[in-house]
Structure 1
Amino acid sequence: MLSLVDALHGLVRAHPTLGAWLLAGWLVYLVGLGLWIVLQKREPAATLAWLISLAALPYVGFVVYYVFGPQRIRRQRLRRGRARARMPETPDSAEAAESRELARLGLATTRLPASTATDVRLLVDGGATYDALLEAIGNAQEHVHLEYYIFEPDRTGTRVRDALIERARAGVAVRLLIDAVGSAKVGHRFLAPLLEAGAEVAWFHPMLSRWRRPWLNMRSHRKIVVIDGRIGFTGGINVTDEEDERLRPDAYRDLHLRLEGDVLASLQQVFIEDWIYATGQRPPSLPRVTFEPGEVSAQVVVSGPDASWEAIHRMHVSAIHGARQRVWLATPYFVPGEAAMMALTSAALAGLDVRLLVPRTSDSRLVTYAARSYFDELLAAGVRIHEYGPRMLHTKALLCDDDIAIIGSANFDHRSFRLNFEVSMLFRDAGIAASLADILHHDMSHAPRVRVDRHRSFLRAKLPEALARLMSPLL
């Protein structure tokens, strides 16, 4: 490395004008890339982090930003908007117009109205989820729509694929939409039997596409299944052996939902929009299944880089601000922004029962360090923090008071709130809230509480956490 630097210095001394040209080129690069980043209008901290990082990487920084940096959100929004415009409009119900603040917020930011569910089942871990999913697929008569971030070609993925093959051969319309990064291990050999059976498979944001920047970010992190318009699934569980505790003792601890009722119309609409966006083709018209009004107030909330409102982020912050007794949050990745941190600490300082459940060790050491960098402020405000282990906690849920529950695919971090396409369910129901409280209380009882006076060495804790904190806007 030193010899290369010496060679460059020698070259500049031998050709004085070369140094001026290199300096001019670097300035043009810095100004051009700086304008590109600034015009994205992201958070000042994230913008400054990119500017400082890339200024130190002449020319190479352009490639880094081109591959890893935020995309042109306006272009994505326009493409998504065209897909949305081709969908039939969802009428506003009287219940939605008269609903409370959270329901109105959801409607304003997503155009998906408040609705009801006739049956909601909280499915803990992969075993219960896959059994319920396979049973529902096996009973499908008209169509099976699936959208997953991770669909692995392992034992679990093979079981689900084979169930889809059986239904496709029986004449059921099967459509599978999988993320090109999360499901990168899926190949043609695995999909061939499904395609031969007559099913349709599409990829969300392929990594390499002609005349287009590679999409490392902007992934579809959603998990959606809609069967015959009558049964739906969503939540945090992907299709992988890593989520099945019957196959692996270290399987993720996670939470999923099985739904019935009129709210499935919104979940179906989200899938069809994503399918149109990914394929450019609209599925044949599907008759809307009508349900009697259910007893559970439910609303689908979606967010992604195609919209500027950060609907799921706003929903979490608003629900926390509106709480009066308790705020219990479970998330595998905790990298909050200023608004979320303010909401949590304000609730704790106001005397509410605020608890945070995170994994003791996540599958990303950088995120683990970043999450722990926020602990001191949270603990000082009175937040109770529990670290779950030894299994990886993958549950994504928020419980406020005795009637508000938010469960879905979104982590409590910048990536889920701003970069990924996510889906969550908002429930206003005492029964759902009580069931979620029981699950979270059980997990907290197996998660040691973080102490204020815990030992933290400088090199193994304080310094890594501080450095990871600097990367928070980019995580």
Structure 2
Amino acid sequence: MAGRWFDGNHFTLLENGEAFYPCVFQRIADARKEVVLETFILFEDKVGLALHEVLVAAARRGVQVDVTIDGWGSPDLSPQFIAGLREAGVRLHVFDPGPRPFGLRPKLLRRMHRKIVVVDGEIAFVGGINYSADHLADYGPEAKQDYAVEIRGPVVAEIHRFVHANLTAGSRHGEHRRFWRWRRQVRHAAHELPHAGTARAMLVSRDNSFHTTDIERQYRLAIRLARHRIVIANAYFFPGYRLIRDLRRAARRGVDVRLILQGQPDMPIVKTAASALYSHLVKAGVRIYEYCERPLHGKVALADDEWSTVGSSNLDPLSLSLNLEANVIIRDRAFNAHLHERLDHLVRHSCKQIQAEELEASGGFVHVLRSFLAFHLVRLYPSLVSWLPRHRPRLADPAVLAHAYAHRDGR
């Protein structure tokens, strides 16, 4: 989905779980009518249990609560955890929950990777932070560095419409008719939400039907139009050939292009894949910084003094060609400046710059061959992944889900 622009919005940057969880939980605690939440990962740890508590409390006081999790990203919720939600009236939905023949996950690809919350149709959250304790600093060296935004203003109605459309996907015809009547109401309501700030904003998503390249297209447009700076902080960096080409061209025309990538990755293959592209980028003038304090999980970027994006989409084959993702595009000088200050803080205090001399010193036939193969793989992968199955995903209802988990656990 590449939506329309909405004026008059306000964005608050939330860095890591320490800022994100208290804010989200408080908004849910204050909800009067409705909470809709989507997340890739929900773990039954101290964060997941805290979310469980506020969702149950909201449902018990009459708030309509819909929670969608991914069946692969959140595979180990106990029957008791699920039953507690159901008994309170929370409607739990699971994106492609199975089946799992012989314990395998045949539908591993094309996951629901979005992280969105909408409360009362008035406040929204979009970003990359899941509901798990590894987004908190006290988790230790493996705690993730990540970002989300709290949103107020007219664009929230568009996000509200989007999450409800996801809930009705695959429903019966009668439900679709009710949805289309409701959608017209929400479109009208989008003009009635009061302005909350100065930001112009757009929700942009990626799916496997009609919006397969929308997020990548917004990145490429911002890179091509940039005049003096581009900063991209992305956890999993292995983008397509066209985006790599745009970054190289931007650097060659004098734009200060900076990439902040993982130096302490949660999966070693992430760094291996990204580093195979370093030579091509550094030779063109792109500055690459590896964040070495802890695993980087962020998916944020900015261009010049106004354009920014925050969301769930990485710049790798999974996010750009397979997963269901959602980002917000923000045009606001104040937000851009604040995001730039926070990313610059990472660069100055927690990053190591990759130097051209180091890349040359690590050269050799194997390095050159690996770099050559990686560079040409990014040219081919969009066409390669198009051959992968595009099964129609489904949302399981709570009863089916509880039965599936109980059967899996032998209960």
How many Å apart are 1:416 and its aligned residue? 0.8
Match of 1:171 among 34, 58, 62: 62
Relative to 1, partners in 2 of residues 1:430 and 1:356: Cα closer, same or farther, differing over 3 Å?
same
Deviations 1:42-75 (A, max 9, x none): xxxxxxxxxxxxxxxxxxxxxxxxxxxxxxxxxx
Gaps of 5+ in 2: 386-411
Moved more, 287-296 or 393-402: 287-296
Question: Does 1 or 2 have the higher relative contact order (CA < 8 Å, sep 6+)?
Answer: 2
CA distance in 2, matches of 1:189, 1:471: 45
How many Å apart are 1:460 and its aligned residue? 9.3
How many Å apart are 1:275 and its aligned residue? 0.9
How many Å apart are 1:230 and its aligned residue? 1.1
Relative to 1, partners in 2 of residues 1:118 and 1:316: Cα closer, same or farther, differing over 3 Å?
closer
Give the aligned partner of residue 32 of structure 2. 141
How many Å apart are 1:432 and its aligned residue? 0.9
CA-atom RMSD, angstroms?
Answer: 2.5
Match of 1:427 among 324, 327, 330: 330
CA distance in 1, matches of 2:260, 2:100: 40
Relative to 1, partners in 2 of residues 1:392 and 1:463: Cα closer, same or farther, differing over 3 Å?
farther
Give the aligned partner of residue 362 of structure 2. 456
Residues 159-238 of structure 1: matches in 2 within 5 Å? Answer: 159-208=50-99, 214-238=106-130
How many Å apart are 1:111 and its aligned residue? 5.5
Aligned pairs, number: 364
Per the normalisation by structure 1, the TM-score is: 0.72
How many Å apart are 1:118 and its aligned residue? 3.5
Match of 1:152 among 43, 53, 71: 43
Deviations 1:273-307 (A, max 9, x none): 11112665579858747322341101101112122
CA distance in 2, matches of 1:266, 1:206: 27
Relative to 1, partners in 2 of residues 1:459 and 1:390: Cα closer, same or farther, differing over 3 Å?
farther
Larger Rg: 1
How many Å apart are 1:308 and its aligned residue? 5.2
Asked if 1:447 corresponds to 2:338, the answer is no
Amino acid at match of 1:449: Q
Asked if 1:115 corresponds to 2:6, the answer is yes
CA distance in 1, matches of 2:371, 2:155: 42
How many Å apart are 1:152 and its aligned residue? 0.8
- Aligned partner of residue 246 in structure 1, secondary structure: helix
Residues 96-107 of structure 1: matches in 2 within 5 Å? Answer: none
Asked if 1:401 corresponds to 2:293, the answer is no
How many Å apart are 1:114 and its aligned residue? 0.6
Asked if 1:275 corresponds to 2:181, the answer is no
How many Å apart are 1:395 and its aligned residue? 1.1
Deviations 1:308-347 (A, max 9, x none): 5510000101110011111111100110111101100000
Per the normalisation by structure 2, the TM-score is: 0.83
Relative to 1, partners in 2 of residues 1:309 and 1:202: Cα closer, same or farther, differing over 3 Å?
closer
CA contact (8 A) 2:2 2:204 kept: no
Asked if 1:412 corresponds to 2:331, the answer is no
Deviations 1:64-123 (A, max 9, x none): xxxxxxxxxxxxxxxxxxxxxxxxxxxxxxxxxxxxxxxxxxxxxx35211134421000
CA contact (8 A) 1:168 1:197 kept: yes
CA distance in 2, matches of 1:331, 1:191: 33
Calculate percent identity across the aligned residue pairs.
32
**Over 4 Å off, 4+ runs:** 278-287, 457-472
- Aligned partner of residue 215 in structure 1, secondary structure: coil
